[in-house]
Amino acid sequence: MHQFTYLFDCDGVVLDTESQYSKFWAHIGTLYYPHVQSFAEDIKGMSLVDIFACYFPHEPQQREIKQLLDNFEESMEYIYIPGVEDFLKSLRDKKLRTALVTSSDHNKMAQVYSAHPEIKDYFDYIFTAEDIQRSKPAPDCFINAARRFDVATEDCIVFEDSINGLTAAKESGTKVVGLTTTNSEQKIISFCNLIIPNFIGQTPDSITAHFAFLS
């Protein structure tokens, strides 16, 4: 059977944190962009550097928002998406290539590692915002991950949930599995080869079988 490389977004794919971030960024949106009702949705998947570059170019605003975000992330709940731990363990048992590809920065990931020190064992590589120049929806992060493994992007399967993340995955040329943890199936269907609600009942073999004929 064809051997794929598995690339995972973090928030909304591995960790059930997107709803918490949505509330935080919606609050920021009401403070700074009250006329943009879609602000929280628009920035999903973007790195903080790119959010600042696009929406908050002034340093005083950046400092204020960064402090609010740091405080928020310290109090967040970092809960696994249903079924994802078993799925990741199965990938490791089969010695399949895996990477976490996130727009989160080192400070945020330090909180994740504190809550789940075992998460590092699930991945060969963990790519963060510091590893790329352009964040999602640019495809750079997934192209970079494929290069690190020395594989073609078409031999990678990406698991994503946000529109920006799904756009990046599709543009990179990977196979795309969309999770409906953040958006409805109808909203993400045009980006995906496969859609799942979570990882319950999913196995590496079931995912690989779905994509084997596309390779």
The pLDDT tens digits of the residues spanning 147-183 come to 999 999 999 999 999 999 999 999 999 999 999 999 9
The answer to whether 103 touches 45, Cβ cutoff 8 Å, is yes
Instruction: Decide: 162 and 18 in contact? Cβ < 8 Å.
Output: yes
Angstrom distance (rounded) from CA 197 to CA 68:
31
pLDDT of residue 75: 92
Evaluate if residue 215 carries a pLDDT over 60: no
How does residue 198 score in pLDDT terms, banded at 50, 70 and 90? very high
Report the pLDDT averaged over residues 18-41: 93
pLDDT for the residue 211: 86
For residue 167, which amino acid is it?
A: T
Task: Report DSSP letters for 7-41, one per residue.
Answer: EE-SBTTTBS-HHHHHHHHHHHHHHH-TT-TTHHH
Closest by CA position to 83, among listed 180, 176, 200, 182: 200
User: Above pLDDT 70, what percent of the chain?
Assistant: 98
Kindly tell me the burial class for residue 164, based on how many C-beta atoms sit within 10 Å of its own C-beta (0-12, 13-18, 19 or more).
buried
Query: What residues does 80 pair with on adjacent strands?
Result: 15
Q: Report how far apart, in Å, the C-alpha atoms of 207 and of each of 83, 130, 156, 177, 204 are.
A: 14, 30, 12, 9, 5
Between the CA of residue 75 and those of 25, 108, 114, 184, what are the distances in Å? Answer: 15, 11, 12, 28
Written as one string, the DSSP assignment of 35-95 is: T-TTHHHHTTT--HHHHHHHH--SHHHHHHHHHHHHHHHHH----BPTTHHHHHHHHHHTT
Decide if 36 contacts 42 (C-beta within 8 A): yes
Residues 2, 51: Cα–Cα separation, whole Å = 38
Coil, helix or strand for 161?
coil
